Amino acid sequence: MKFSHKNLLGIAELSQSDILTILNLTNNFRQVLDRPIPIVPALRGKTIVNLFFEPSTRTATSFAIAAKRLSADIVNFAIKSSSVIKGETLLDTAKNIEAMKVDGVVIRSSYPGAAHFLAKHLKAFVVNAGDGAHEHPTQALSDIYTISQRIKKFPDLKVLIVGDITHSRVARSDILAFSKLGAKVAICGPPTLIPIGIEKTGCEIFYKLDHILSEVDVVVALRLQRERQQVGLFPSIREYRALYGLTKERLLKLRRPLIIMHPGPINWGVELDPAVATTPHSVVLEQVKNGVAVRMAVLYALAGGETDAKG
Amino acid sequence: MPRVVMKGAAIKRALVRIATEIKKRNKSIEDLVLIGIKRRGQTLAQRLAKILADGKKSIPVGAIDITLYRDDLQLIAETPIVRGSEINFDINNKVVILVDDVLFTGRTVRAALTEILDFGRPKSIQLAVLVDRGHRELPIAADYIGKRIKTEKTDLVDIFVFEEDGKEGVFVSKCPNQTKRDEI
């Protein structure tokens, strides 16, 4: 059980055993979070920078809390008051931050491959906290950890991801993560929001929700990214809700319980009904809670000890 | 060839004697809880609890893994495995008996003390070890010692218990490669 990567760039780079190592570590950190004093000194003296070029509440805060729980110092980089506004490039920004003796960089960017680019140029470890529509590995790891708390055997598991697959980095990381653990993954959404070539990842594609919904154990509802919907990829929000929304009526028709996940932020009444999110089958807030433990596991695996591992 | 320092019977006798000393010093076993340092210390703590309880009231036994509290995390080449701590009872105002197999530099015990204090504020913490092999690097002493043994600093002291290893005994051997030691 060891994790021999310098960076966490995507689920694509991880093996099944890497994923299991992180899940196992997460379990230990999950216990730490329940202690009266939920802080361990493991990363004392390490400094990590949160480099977020896109808005985020959950992920940035989650990384910050995770770092603090490990006794690392974390610096939040505020984009609006930085020199990025003056036109500084990504590499210059990162190089300057690294020159201040930083051990790790957590990056969120709207450009796919931004984390990979930084990893190539920095000695500090890099964690991808979302790069465009490419990957969001820590979200996927926290999704599979949340499922592993309820269901032990991944090979028997059927997972459905519903919504805007094209613009979703969570969808890509989730498909890879669940598949690597042996689960069957299906995706469902309007044809205009299903990317070309996605079937190469081994997932099945459906365009009608009701039928496939009755066959799966877990459903991941994705946020309808309205900020990216100016070009008219579907007729209206109302129609989207009618066809792909996880409504109370739709779920009541199912014979068996379903675990409901959402990476947040939620468009209430569009992809997910408020009545559904408050049922015991919804694990939305568990995902957030586990997210801290997962990020502790990732930071510990990357920053703990001196490693000269590649990739 | 490893030198045999204790056999199964000697380990048993040592634990019974430690149990007697614990009872003598603490008068009542009501407030006692045992915490073993993973992994051999956990096994020894469980055995000690059985002897102390004497078939009557059971004594809570927990286990801690000190990995996240090590003072040499920066120096180790590879991220060490974390096994997790299990203390599923309240330690506030309890007398904690911390149990480990070998007392050596004292660094493990230092880490364990820090970790225990993150779980609460016990009335006191007492240290019980099966073997004290000397060479302390921190000002730490055990309250209960099964056996004191003379060792060179580079010697390896191996403890085997049935529950973990399928055999029983304490052995001392010369370290084949002195620079490769990374234990604390």
Q: Across the interface, which of A28, A37, A307 has its CB nearest the CB of B78?
A: A307
CATH number of the structural domain spanning residue A190:
3.40.50.1370
pLDDT above 90: residue B181? no
Query: Does a structural domain hold residue A174?
Result: yes
The residue among A237, A291, A290 whose CA lies nearest residue A268 is A237
pLDDT one-digit tens code per residue, A77-97 = 877 666 666 677 888 888 888
Residues A247 and A123 occupy one common structural domain:
no
Residue ranges of chain B whose CB lies within 8 Å of a chain A CB: 65, 67-69, 73-86, 114-115, 118-120
At a CB cut-off of 8 Å and minimum separation 6, what does B68 contact?
A32, A40, A41, A42, A300, B82, B115
Residue A91 CB: number of other CB atoms within 10 A?
13
What is the second-level CATH architecture of the domain B3-180? 3-Layer(aba) Sandwich (3.40)
Query: Does a structural domain hold residue A3?
Result: no
pLDDT above 80: residue B48? yes
Delimit the domains of chain B by residue range: 3-180
pLDDT above 70: residue B58? yes
Higher pLDDT, A136 or B174: A136
Query: Does a structural domain hold residue A179?
Result: yes
Residue B62 CB: number of other CB atoms within 10 A?
19
- Whole-model pTM: value is 0.88
Query: Does a structural domain hold residue A250?
Result: yes
Range of the domain at A238: 137-287
Say which DSSP state B28 is in.
Answer: -
Q: Which long-range contacts (CB under 8 A, 24 or more apart) does A119-122 make?
A: A119/A6, A119/A7, A119/A9, A121/A91, A121/A94, A121/A95, A122/A94, A122/A95, A122/A98
Exposed, middle or buried by CB within 10 Å (0-12, 13-18, 19+), for A69? buried
Query: Does a structural domain hold residue A218?
Result: yes
Residues A148 and A130 occupy one common structural domain:
no
Query: Does a structural domain hold residue A110?
Result: yes
Contact assessment for residue B149 and residue B155, using Cβ atoms and an 8 Å cutoff: no
Number of domains observed in the structure of chain A: 2
- Which positions in chain A touch B81 (Cβ < 8 Å)? 1-2
Scanning the structure block, which residue is given the tokens 């009231």? B57
Tell me how close the Cα of B77 comes to any Cα of chain A, in angstroms. 5
Residues A128 and A26 occupy one common structural domain:
yes
pLDDT one-digit tens code per residue, A214-243 = 899 999 999 987 766 666 777 788 888 999
At a CB cut-off of 8 Å and minimum separation 6, what does A135 contact?
A9, A10, A11, A12, A128, A169, A172, A173, A176
ipTM above threshold 0.95:
no
Residues A112 and A162 occupy one common structural domain:
no
d(CA A56, CA A131): 12
Strands A259-261 and A218-221: parallel
Residues A169 and A226 occupy one common structural domain:
yes
Q: Across the interface, which of A37, A42, A306 has its CB nearest the CB of B77?
A: A306
